[in-house]
Amino acid sequence: MRRDIFQAIADPTRRAILVLIALQAMTPNAIAEHFDITRQSISKHLHILSECDLLAHKQEGREIFYELKIDKMKEIDIWLDQFRKIMEGRFQQLDQLLYTIKNKKK
């Protein structure tokens, strides 16, 4: 079963991992140092993120480095954009209402 990107970001630990590796490629051990969970749990999170095609990995000697596939994050941005547009419309309506109220007081 292939997971989708929203399943990947549903977990706070996976979101934190994405933030970490957005800055630089990291090994699983380096990632695990930032969390108070087992190395096995980190591996499970990395596996899920990889299944969702959010991570690329490259082998350098005996080490595997994980890095973020930033282009895949656009899928989230596109989905969120519809809500941004709704909120912008509501803020414009509020601005207009406040402007109307302010002008009525004059």
Q: What is the pLDDT of residue 1?
A: 58
Mind listing the pLDDT tens digit of every residue in the chain (106 residues)?
567 888 889 999 999 999 999 999 999 999 999 999 999 999 999 999 999 999 999 999 999 999 999 888 888 899 899 999 999 999 999 999 999 888 887 6
Cβ atoms within 10 A of the Cβ of 4, count?
12
Q: What is the pLDDT of residue 2?
A: 66
Any idea which residue has 């800055």 for tokens?
23
Alpha helices in the chain (DSSP H): 5-9, 12-23, 28-32, 39-51, 74-105
pTM: 0.77
Q: Could you give the CA distance from residue 61 to residue 97 in angstroms, rounded to a whole number?
A: 63
Closest CA to 53 of 14, 19, 12, 2: 2
> In this structure, what are the phi and psi dihedrals at residue 38, rounded to the nearest 5 degrees?
-70, 160
Q: What is the pLDDT of residue 104?
A: 85
Cβ atoms within 10 A of the Cβ of 30, count?
16
